[in-house]
Amino acid sequence: MEHKDIYDLLKTLNIPVAYDHFDSNKNVTPPFIAYREISPDTFKADGITYYRPYEFEIELVTEKKDVELEKAIEELLTNNKIPYDVENEVWDEDERIYHNFYEI
């Protein structure tokens, strides 16, 4: 899965989506998603990289725990045969928002 594929797929959730972060001049309020590429496990041999997969972290940001939106993300990934791991849920006390992380 490449950048445009994951972006197009996440946009079907009908919430704002951006790669890594939103521009500072855009006033985006939760819920929203930021996704970023993470270091992949490449296949190398004899000094050549034969396979370089794209791996992403999806960050869901919400003002309150949103079980329905979390289920929607998980169903979207499952229905598109994209294996994922739920990595973390973090409450940011200063900003008063939740961060949920998925790795694909």
Taking the model in full, what pTM does it have? 0.85
Task: Write the burial class of residue 92 (CB in 10 Å: 0-12 exposed, 13-18 middle, 19+ buried).
Answer: exposed
Query: Looking at residue 100, what is its pLDDT?
Result: 97
Query: Looking at residue 49, what is its pLDDT?
Result: 80
Sorted by where each starts, the structural domains of the chain and their CATH numbers stand as 3-103 (3.30.2000.30)
CA angle at 65 for the pair 61 and 71, rounded to the nearest 5°: 85
User: In a structure prediction context, what are the per-residue pLDDT tens digits for the chain, which is 104 residues long?
Assistant: 788 999 999 999 999 999 999 998 788 999 999 999 987 677 788 888 877 777 899 999 999 999 999 999 999 999 999 999 999 999 999 999 999 999 99
User: Position 82: which residue type?
Assistant: I
